[in-house]
Amino acid sequence: MKKIVLATGNPHKVEEFNRFFAERNFPVVLLSMREAGFSGELVEDADTFEGNAHCKALTVARATGMLCVADDSGLEVDALGGAPGVFSARYAGGHGDDEANIRKLLEELRDVPDDRRTARFVCAICAVKFDPNEVESTLLVRGTVEGKILRGKRGDGRFGYDPVFFYEPLGKTFAELDGTTKNAVSHRGRALENLLAEAEERNFFLNGE
């Protein structure tokens, strides 16, 4: 099995990525940064999801010498010019305060009519590796899912903006979907599908093994 490092400190994300590849019988296994021996800080100061994903993957790939995969994701709201975008996790100031972020989002959209509350979740995934001459090779993909922002929360799921993101094809918010259903239609799920397709076409993960 080809070992790849995932630029995250979140063990649940490592499990999610490994489950995705295992279900498709793709012969790779992802390690956490700690398992790969990386203990540094990851900087996310780019103005695009792709830029942040590339920066994280490049940092860890250089430090470990391993092929590295990283992702960055967030919410884009059309009526807000694409905000909160790369600032999704810290929209209200503090990082990861989901309740405060939702409150700010709904306040910003208070006077926006229902037909103009369109939005999308975006996930960019980047894979970076170096050849023996330290030449960088990069694979970069994106996955998106379209929806609308409701005027209040629905569902028990309490992750990010899921309770106010309404997915019209299923008539539910992301917080009302079970994990399997959400993963099948989510931005990260679609980005992972695109990653696997590109990686297989270019033999990106397995080349040289």
Known catalytic residues? 72
Tokens 């799920």 found at? 189
The order of strands in the sheet holding 136-149 is 28-31, 2-6, 68-77, 118-130, 136-149, 165-167, 172-173
Quote the CA–CA distance of 111 and 109 in Å, as a whole number: 6
CB 138 within 8 A of CB 68: no
26's CB contacts (< 8 A; 6+ apart) are: 196, 200, 205
152 closest CA partner among 194, 110, 203: 110
196 closest CA partner among 44, 8, 53, 19: 19
Instruction: Look at residue 114 and give its three-state secondary structure.
Output: helix
- Residue 70 buriedness (CB in 10 A; 0-12 / 13-18 / 19+): buried
Quote the CA–CA distance of 14 and 44 in Å, as a whole number: 19
